[in-house]
Structure 1
Amino acid sequence: MKARARLRDLVDIPARLADRVVLITGGNAGIGRSTALAAAECGMKVVIAARRAEQGQAVVDEIRERGGEATYVSTDVTSAEQVERAVDIAVRAYGRLDCAFNNAGASATGRVADLTEDVFDGAMAVNARGLWLCMKHELHTMTEAGTGSIVNNISVHGYRTVFPGVGAYAASKNAAVALTRSAALEYAEFGVRVNGIAPGPIATDMYLNSVTADEGAANWSRLVPAGRVGEPSEVGAVVLFLLSDAASYVNGQVVGIDGGFLAS
């Protein structure tokens, strides 16, 4: 019975996350919104950092209507000042920062020779430099506390170039993998874990728009052994596990959430 009780405690993710403070970039829609709502259901205090104020505040209002605690802060992850401000507001509002889900991302399409500098630089600015800025300020706060957990939203494109026209996006996501693993190595001794997730096709506006815009993306689900597109809630469940200390020995990993795509 004691062994069963210990196992039950281990897998009780909500209990392991209750009262912890999480910052979620891009928490206003899609995977970020779904994860924010799930985090609040677990009793976490949620800080939504996103550019679209109306959407971000709507998520906060929904969490509060359900009895949770949440705060919105207008944040463009390409701005060092705004990222630092978001982390500072989280700490001022709730006293600390325990967890972060760096979910903000930017898509980019075009064959390598046809890419404009603006498209390439835009993808790198959000998906690589923006991710680095978020981790930079989150890590400063977490290392001072001696504990913390970060999850970065990467993509299966960080490992495989799925179809033509995603060179800039894939380059930025490969950089995100390297940043995630480097941070995990460098900050483990300070009690901070850094992991990533690599979603395949997920039913979000970003995915649905890419299907409309790019004929290659329309074949996505055919490449997935599961034969379907994933749901944002399926991603959020893995994020919350990685943020919790049920995953206390998981560090420097990028977990595929892809219906078996990377294994195929």
Structure 2
Amino acid sequence: MSEGTGARDSVEGKVVVVTGGSSGIGRASAAVFAEAGMRVVIAARNEERGAEAAHEIRSRGHEACFVRCDVTSPDQVRNLFARVVQQYGRVDCAFNNAGVSGDGRLADLTPQDFDRAFAVNTRGLWLCMREELRLMSAQEDGGSIVNNTSVHGIRTIFPGIGAYVASKHAAVALTRMAAMEHAREGVRVNAVAPGPVESEMLAASEAAVGGATTWRRLIPSGEIGTPRQVADVALWLFSAASSYVNGQAVGVDGGFLAT
């Protein structure tokens, strides 16, 4: 492949699994990956929205399917990847995007609140990565994994979201560990670390941390990001254009982490 080959050219035809693909960043990313010629498998708990997202992609002439999956269930995660392999024979890329918020001061959280954040954002991420790493390590040409973490997994600034922050720090650590353990098998593992992005989660954060209003004061650009801006970075991380990038958490944040 020549050095001038673009990101979209180098991912065409590859199979990508997108967890949490029924809404927000996941849904936008599935559409971006499909536009680039990737074969997209959308996984999510919400069957109606997930099937709708896959249908939208197919209506534009691209390839997509939906598999219902709760990433907190080892059996459902195994079933997801078994179905992907049954249909396509391989998994080239994975965007581990499923996540939940975790609002509340640490002293006020219940064990159930704390466990919920880690069940999805950390343990669920690991369950998916475990299957992806096993499959990709056995493939001659490896694969590429991108985890959706957060700027909160790199820099802690807001009180009142301790469980979420802790789970995202752990997600970044898992990313780096997996990259180190599987680099020689041709598997790259990176993360995107979004700042504020137009989404249901941002809107829901208004009460806890001030939402978009607070973020605009903290972002050098003063702008709230879009799901597509995150998706474009994930696509680049899948591509040959980023072939020497591994174990990184790339901020997609309008310059926030630079402040």
Whether the TM-score (by the shorter chain) exceeds 0.5 is: yes
2:184 pairs with one of 184, 189, 204: 189
2:90 pairs with one of 85, 96, 102: 96
Q: Does 1:81 align with 2:75?
A: yes
Q: Distance in 2 between matches of 1:46 and 1:88?
A: 15
1:180 pairs with one of 161, 169, 175: 175
Q: Distance in 1 between matches of 2:89 and 2:32?
A: 21
Deviation at 1:6, TM superposition (A): 4.3
Deviation at 1:210, TM superposition (A): 1.3
Query: SS of the counterpart of 1:107?
Result: coil
1:110 pairs with one of 99, 104, 108: 104
- CA displacement 1:28-63 (0-9 Å, x = unmatched): 111001110011111100000100011100111011
Which residue of 1 is the match for residue 197 of structure 2? 202
Residues 1-264 of structure 1 correspond to what in structure 2 (within 5 A)? 6-9=2-5, 12-146=6-140, 147-211=142-206, 213-217=207-211, 218-264=213-259
Gaps of 5+ in 2: none
- CA displacement 1:51-85 (0-9 Å, x = unmatched): 00111001110111111111101100000111111
Q: Distance in 1 between matches of 2:210 and 2:39?
A: 40
Query: SS of the counterpart of 1:71?
Result: strand
4+ long deviations beyond 3 Å: 5-8, 215-218
Gaps of 5+ in 1: none
Query: SS of the counterpart of 2:231?
Result: helix
TM-score (norm: length of structure 1)? 0.95
Contact 1:77–1:134 (8 Å) recurs in 2: yes
Query: SS of the counterpart of 1:195?
Result: strand
* Percent identity between the two aligned chains: 56
Deviation at 1:8, TM superposition (A): 3.2
Partner AA of 2:62 in structure 1: G
Deviation at 1:187, TM superposition (A): 0.3
- CA displacement 1:101-145 (0-9 Å, x = unmatched): 000001010011001111100001111100100000011111111
Q: Distance in 2 between matches of 1:219 and 1:69?
A: 39
Contact 1:163–1:216 (8 Å) recurs in 2: no
Q: Distance in 2 between matches of 1:159 and 1:6?
A: 34
- CA displacement 1:141-196 (0-9 Å, x = unmatched): 11111310000000001011221101110100111011000000000011100000
The structure-2 alpha-carbon separation of the partners of 1:139 and 1:6, relative to structure 1 and needing over 3 Å to count, comes to closer
TM-score (norm: length of structure 2)? 0.97
Query: SS of the counterpart of 1:214?
Result: helix
- CA displacement 1:83-109 (0-9 Å, x = unmatched): 111111111112210000000001010
Q: Distance in 1 between matches of 2:221 and 2:187?
A: 34
Deviation at 1:261, TM superposition (A): 0.4
